[in-house]
Amino acid sequence: MPSALSLIGLRKTFGSKRAVDDLNLEVRAGCLFGLVGPNGAGKTTTLSMATGLLRPDAGTAIVLGHDVWSDPARAKALMGVLPDGLRLFDRLSGGELLHYVGLLRRVPPADIASRSAELLEALGLAEDADTLVVEYSAGMTKKIGLACALIHAPRLLVLDEPFEAVDPVSGEAIRSILRGYADSGGTVVMSSHVMELVESLCDDLAVVAQGRVLATGTLDEVRAGSSLQSRFLELVGFHASGQEALAWLRSSSGSS
Ligand SMILES: Nc1ncnc2c1ncn2[C@@H]1O[C@H](COP(=O)(O)OP(=O)(O)OP(=O)(O)O)[C@@H](O)[C@H]1O
C-alpha cells in the first residue's frame, strides 16, 4: 500500500528547544492514523510542517508523491487541514465561510451549495448556517473548521485535535464521517489526547515524545497486548507522584 504521507527527517528548533527531532513517519493510504503524545511532544509542530504551515529546519514532507515544500500547490490541493488555533474569517456566517472556502478550493458553485448543506446538516450546524462565526462556540468553531477542511473532497485530511470541545452527538457524526472517508480510500491523520478515541477509531498510530517517534504501526502492534493507555504511559515514562506531592492541597493538611 503506497504512503499518503511520508515525513522524512523532519526537524524544527525554537531557540534552544528541539521541538521535532529528525522525525520519520509513514502513513499508508486509506487509513485513519492517530498521532498521540504528551503535551509539548511536538505533534502540532509536526503537523504544521507536514501541511506547509511551518517551514522545517530540515527534512521533507511528501503528500501522495508531492513534496509539500518544493511542490506546495499540488500537495496542498490534495489536503484538507484543520490546524491548531485555526483563524477563520469570523465576520462571515458559517454558510458564507464554507462558500468562500469552496471558491478558494475551486469547487464548482453548484457543488459548493449542495456540499455545504450536507456538511452543515451532518455536523449539526444547519440551524446556525446564517450565524456569524465570531458568535460560534468553541465546538461549533471546530466543526465549521472541519467542514472547511472537507469541502473540496481532499484525499488526505490532517486534523489537529478534531474532537476537542465537540459534544458527544457531533463527535459521533465526526467519527462516522472520518470512518466513511477512510473506508472509501481517503486518509486521515489526526492528533488526539484521548486514548479511548484513538483506540476505537484509528487503524494505525504513532506515539511521539520529545519530537521523536517512540512507536508506530497498527493499533495492535503499538498496544502489544496492553490497553493503549497503559502502553502510552509505559512508552512516555509515567511515574506516579509520591504521597508528599501537593500535600498542602489535601483538606486535612489545610490551615482552615
Ligand atoms: N512558536 C513556538 N515558539 C517557541 N516554542 C514553541 C513554538 N511552538 C512550539 N514550541 C515548543 O515546541 C514544543 C512542541 O510543541 P507542540 O505544540 O508541537 O507540542 P504538542 O505535542 O502539539 O503539544 P500539546 O499536546 O500540548 O498541544 C514545546 O516545547 C513547545 O513549547
**99-144 pLDDT per residue, tens:** 999 999 999 999 999 999 999 999 999 999 999 999 999 899 999 9
Q: Verify whether ligand 1 is closer than 6 Å to residue 40 (CB atom).
A: yes
pLDDT at 254 over 60: no
Question: Could you tell me what percent of the chain has a pLDDT over 90?
Answer: 85
**Residues 68 and 50: beta-carbon distance below 8 Å:** yes
Helices (H), the chain: 43-50, 72-77, 94-104, 109-122, 138-150, 168-183, 195-201, 219-223, 228-236
Q: Verify whether ligand 1 is closer than 6 Å to residue 47 (CB atom).
A: no
Residue 48 and residue 57: Cα distance in Å, rounded? 13
Expressed in angstroms and rounded, the spacing between residue 109 Cα and the centre of ligand 1 is: 38
Question: Is residue 29 helix, strand or coil?
Answer: coil
Per-residue pLDDT tens digits for 170-211: 899 899 999 999 999 999 999 999 999 999 999 999 999 999
Q: How confident is the model at residue 10 (pLDDT cuts 50, 70, 90)?
A: very high
The interface predicted TM-score of the complex, written ipTM, equals 0.98
Expressed in angstroms and rounded, the spacing between residue 18 Cα and the centre of ligand 1 is: 10
Taking the CA of residue 47 as reference, the ligand 1 atom at the shortest distance is 18
- What's the pLDDT score for residue 253? 59
Cell of 230: 497503559
Q: Verify whether ligand 1 is closer than 6 Å to residue 44 (CB atom).
A: yes
Expressed in angstroms and rounded, the spacing between residue 11 Cα and the centre of ligand 1 is: 13
223-227 LR contacts (CB < 8 Å, sep 24+): 223/199, 227/195, 227/199
Residue 233 and residue 4: Cα distance in Å, rounded? 28
pLDDT at 1 over 80: no
Expressed in angstroms and rounded, the spacing between residue 45 Cα and the centre of ligand 1 is: 6
Residue 38 and residue 208: Cα distance in Å, rounded? 8
Q: Verify whether ligand 1 is closer than 6 Å to residue 39 (CB atom).
A: yes
Per-residue pLDDT tens digits for 132-176: 999 999 899 999 999 999 999 999 999 999 998 889 998 998 999
pLDDT at 256 over 80: no
CA dihedral 115→117→118→123, nearest 10 degrees, is 120
β 3-14/156-160 pair status: unpaired
Q: How confident is the model at residue 255 (pLDDT cuts 50, 70, 90)?
A: low
**Domains of the chain from N-terminus onward:** 1-78+155-238 (3.40.50.300), 86-153 (no CATH)
Q: Nearest 5°: phi and psi at 97? A: -60, -45
Taking the CA of residue 38 as reference, the ligand 1 atom at the shortest distance is 25
Q: How confident is the model at residue 87 (pLDDT cuts 50, 70, 90)?
A: confident
Question: Is residue 106 helix, strand or coil?
Answer: coil
Q: Verify whether ligand 1 is closer than 6 Å to residue 115 (CB atom).
A: no
- What's the pLDDT score for residue 84? 84
**Residues 97 and 89: beta-carbon distance below 8 Å:** yes
Q: How confident is the model at residue 86 (pLDDT cuts 50, 70, 90)?
A: confident
Angle at 26 between CA 20 and CA 32, to 5 degrees: 105
Please tell me which residue, 88 or 9, carries the higher pLDDT value.
9
Q: Verify whether ligand 1 is closer than 6 Å to residue 17 (CB atom).
A: yes
